[in-house]
Amino acid sequence: MWLQRASRRMRTHTYMICVALSGVYVLIAIGAVMMFVGFLGCYGAIQESQCLLGTFFTCLVILFACEVAAGIWGFINRDTISTELINFYDVAYIKAVDPVESPSRQAASKVLEVFHDTLECCGKGDDNELFTAVQVSVCPKKTNPVDLLISQSCHTKLRDLFSEKLHVIGLAALVIAVIMVFEMIFTMVLCCAIRNTPAY
């Protein structure tokens, strides 16, 4: 909802906002599909329905294949993804340092705050006078009162996210994949047990 409001305000850079909105819609759709698949599995197990459990297993196989494909695509295009995120950050940066007060500037400042708080960074590394004027309001504070602002470049942090932290992302994906494989195994075991149970 917030991104939709921001897209109306930042009309000059709607492409980057549309990309972000697309990502949000994809995540919502994935959540809805996962909820439906989970319902199939639970209801199928309660009712001991081979049909529902078979559908659940098929959905898990499809989701597993999609996750593997998305992981391979993300690994191959990691440089492109980091570049697009940097471009999106730069668009918000340019708007946020605009000396003219406007709704688009406020929306861009909120975008920068999200980047800065999440990545614990501040600015692009070439802090100009315009950015220095808004730095206190958009940059996260350090716990040490002597060094109030985190000054590491967000460009560097975004590149590091897809290079140095790639093993963390890969490990998380591997854990999810292992869990899904166990789900498929247990589903098939339950389905075979139901099939072999004599009907009374």
User: For the chain, what are the domain ranges?
Assistant: 1-76+179-200, 90-99+110-164
C-alpha distances in angstroms, 112 versus 4, 7, 23, 46, 192? Answer: 16, 15, 18, 48, 53
Which of 149, 146, 147 is CA-nearest to residue 137? 149
195 is written with which tokens? 């099939």
- Of 80 and 101, more confident: 80
CATH class of 90-99+110-164: mainly alpha
pLDDT at 189 over 50: yes
Question: Which amino acid is located at 165 in the chain?
Answer: K
pLDDT of residue 111: 82
Question: Which amino acid is located at 69 in the chain?
Answer: A
Determine the average pLDDT of the residues in 136-156. Answer: 64
SS3 assignment, position 149: strand
Predicted confidence (pLDDT) per residue in 56-82, tens digit: 899 889 988 888 888 888 788 888 888
The contacts found for 43-51 with CB under 8 angstroms, 24 or more apart, are 45/190, 48/194, 48/197, 49/194, 50/191, 50/194, 50/195
103 is written with which tokens? 């709704």
Determine the average pLDDT of the residues in 44-50. Answer: 85
0.75 exceeded by the pTM?
Answer: no
pLDDT of residue 12: 45
Half-sphere exposure of 181 (CA within 13 A, CB side): 7
